[in-house]
Amino acid sequence: MIKAIKRFVGVVGVALLAFRAIGSFLSWVDKQDETEVDAWIDEEESEDA
């Protein structure tokens, strides 16, 4: 019984860490997308000038 509880707590802990990691990764990707768009706009503006 105690072994099952420890395993359950371990699984919940790993799931929470995975959820945080995915959230952090998606936030990072979103920031990277914004940066790439700004850089792309800067390149186009310099070519037109």
Confidence grade of residue 44 (pLDDT, cut at 50, 70, 90): low
Predicted local distance difference test score (pLDDT) of residue 32: 82
Q: How far apart are CA 23 and CA 9, in angstroms?
A: 21
> Residue 26 is part of which domain span?
1-49
Single pTM value for the model: 0.56
pLDDT in tens, 2-43: 999 999 999 999 999 999 999 999 999 888 876 655 556 655
Domain count, the chain: 1
Predicted local distance difference test score (pLDDT) of residue 1: 93
DSSP letter for 1, please: -
Of the two residues 35 and 1, the one the predictor is more confident about is 1
